[in-house]
Amino acid sequence: MTGHDAAYDLAVVGAGPAGLAAAGVAARAGLRVALLDAGARVGGQYFRQPPDGFHASRPGALHHGYSRFVRLRDGLGDADVLLGHRVWAVEPAAGGGFAVHCLKGGRERATTVAATRLLVATGAHDRVLPFPGWDLPGVMTAGGAQALLKGNLVVAGRRVVVAGTGPFLLPVATSLAAAGARVVGVFEAGGRFALAPRALTRPGKAVEALGYGGRLARHRVPYKGGRAVVAAHGAGELTHVTVARVDAEWRPYRRGHETVRCDTLAIGYGFTPQLDLVAQLGCEIGADAAGGPAVRVDRHMRTSVPGVYAAGETTGVGGADLAELEGAIAGRAVVADARGVPAAGDPAAVRAEVRRRRLAAFADALLRAYPVRDGWTSWLRDDTPICRCEEVPYRRVREARDLGAADARSIKLLARPGMGWCQGRICGEAVARLAGEDPGPPRRPIAQPVRLGDLADMDERTSDDDA
């Protein structure tokens, strides 16, 4: 006997634009759908909502295209929305389909959801690079600052510097400024206009970019390219940062350092897709346009593992529009596969495919326009922490390399970066780059930390199932 029936035709993990769109399409077509998310509200990163307790009369003020979110949220049909469910493992179930193991609620009780098909739409998190002082309180990720604002209506600080690379810095800066923070500067390590010529290939985005420009100007926020925050300072808490002029490889010039006073630094060097679940299932993982890991999918968003689909940032970072579109395509494919009919053919599918290609080409152009350049390693000093959890300084990583550790795995075994609580989610990419590798796919047995007791419970259940 199984402890969990295959209650659902489809389990969708992640209720961002991709997961919402997919769940809606499948549920409206009559499939039994479970939509799971770790968060307390649907929306994902882009459409992150404040709690109801705020009674916001203009909830759309912090989001571009809020009406789209309302359509997605209200279009979920009969899908079961399981919030506060952190999925920590997925595995093929004995009788076919998949077992989705979750920790539920604030007290993290273990529970399992069973489904015939699985869509992974777990999105991405900020990519960060170590630099001296990056673990001072007051230094946050740009996405974290945005999440604090959108999800809790708390402004990260009074005097804020936004820095890193990529177009995402702009909405972070403008929303912080609109919410009352004094944004003293946006420092883009790449070229400030890397975006502009590409944006012309997609008029909507160019207008958006211009819109940000206008808003930055209105709040008198300077936006400077070829500048990087190479050190953060403060006695126990952030008080100022050093901004350097950097060359095309991000190596600081000798001259042109500037000290900027701030209580908060919001930093982001692009995004890293959350691939733990697809990696657990053995889905093939390839590279995005900038060499970063992304799950391989076919035109219908099917991964290499039958019954597993992926959409949104997990397939490569491409923004909310593309995530939503991919979700809808995946939803249609799930419906077709469940019914045993071909996934393509009707004109709507062709139009979606044309649009997907255009958006994906734009996303690839952005990724190529804002890559991470190797010069960031010249910002490091001997005592700069590389791994925040295990407190591994750069010196120990170098020692490991000197001892012959030639790849990220050997460095990890010798110096222990990435062996702590976050399992290398924060430092893994930096360690890979220090080892001269492209950041690879994650190799983590679990996607969320679990208590040993819960694992033991699960073992029992699994052996019951076998009996």
Partner 1 sequence: MTEASPYRLVGARPEPEFEMLVDGRPVPVVPGQTVGAALHAAGIRIWRTTRFGERRRGLFCGLGVCFDCLVTVNGEENLRACLTEARPGDEVTTS
Ligand X SMILES: Cc1cc2nc3c(=O)[nH]c(=O)nc-3n(C[C@H](O)[C@H](O)[C@H](O)COP(=O)(O)OP(=O)(O)OC[C@H]3O[C@@H](n4cnc5c(N)ncnc54)[C@H](O)[C@@H]3O)c2cc1C
| Count of C-beta atoms within a 10 Å radius of residue 163 | 28
Exposure string for 291-315, b = 16+ CB within 10 A, e = fewer: ebbbbbbeebbbbbbebbbbbbbbb
How wide is the angle at C-alpha 147 spanned by C-alphas 454 and 173, nearest 5°?
A: 155
Cβ atoms of 270 and 317 closer than 8 Å? yes
DSSP three-state, residue 90: strand
Query: In whole angstroms, what is the distance from residue 57 CA to residue 392 CA?
Result: 47
| Count of C-beta atoms within a 10 Å radius of residue 94 | 11
Within 8 A by CB and 6+ apart from 443, the residues are 279
168 counts as binding ligand X under rule CB under 6 A:
yes
Query: In whole angstroms, what is the distance from residue 231 CA to residue 333 CA?
Result: 48
Site string for ligand X, 271-290 (x = CB under 6 A): x--x----------------
Q: Which span sits near ligand X by CB under 6 A: 180-188, 302-310, 316-324, 334-342?
A: 316-324
For residues 97 and 151, which CB has a smaller minimum distance to partner 1 in the complex?
Answer: 151
Site string for ligand X, 28-47 (x = CB under 6 A): --------xxxx----xxx-
Query: Considering the complex, what minimum distance in angstroms separates the CB of residue 286 from ligand X?
Result: 17
**Which one among 51, 197, 214, 445 touches partner 1, defined by CB under 8 A?**
51
**Which one among 54, 217, 253, 378 touches partner 1, defined by CB under 8 A?**
54
Look at residue 225 and give the partner it binds from partner 1, ligand X, none, a contact being a CB closer than 5 to 8 Å depending on partner kind: none
Query: In whole angstroms, what is the distance from residue 332 CA to residue 22 CA?
Result: 8
What length does the chain have? Answer: 467
**Which one among 23, 82, 115, 121 touches ligand X, defined by CB under 6 A?**
121
Site string for partner 1, 157-186 (x = CB under 8 A): --------------------xxxx------
Q: Which span sits near partner 1 by CB under 8 A: 50-58, 193-201, 249-257, 300-308?
A: 50-58
Block residue for tokens 């990087």: 228
Site string for partner 1, 381-400 (x = CB under 8 A): ----x--xx-x---------
> Which residue intervals of 153-290 are DSSP H helices?
169-178, 195-199, 203-218, 276-280
Query: In whole angstroms, what is the distance from residue 281 CA to residue 284 CA?
Result: 9
Cβ atoms of 131 and 229 closer than 8 Å? yes
15 counts as binding ligand X under rule CB under 6 A:
yes
**Which one among 422, 454, 461, 462 touches partner 1, defined by CB under 8 A?**
422
Query: Considering the complex, what minimum distance in angstroms separates the CB of residue 383 from ligand X?
Result: 29
Q: Which residues bind partner 1 (CB under 8 A)?
A: 38, 40, 45, 50-59, 61-62, 106-107, 125-126, 135-141, 143-145, 147-149, 151-156, 177-180, 236-237, 385, 388-389, 391, 420-422, 425-426, 449
Q: Which residues bind ligand X (CB under 6 A)?
A: 13-19, 36-39, 44-46, 85-87, 121-126, 143, 146-147, 168, 171, 271, 274, 312-313, 319-320, 323, 447-448
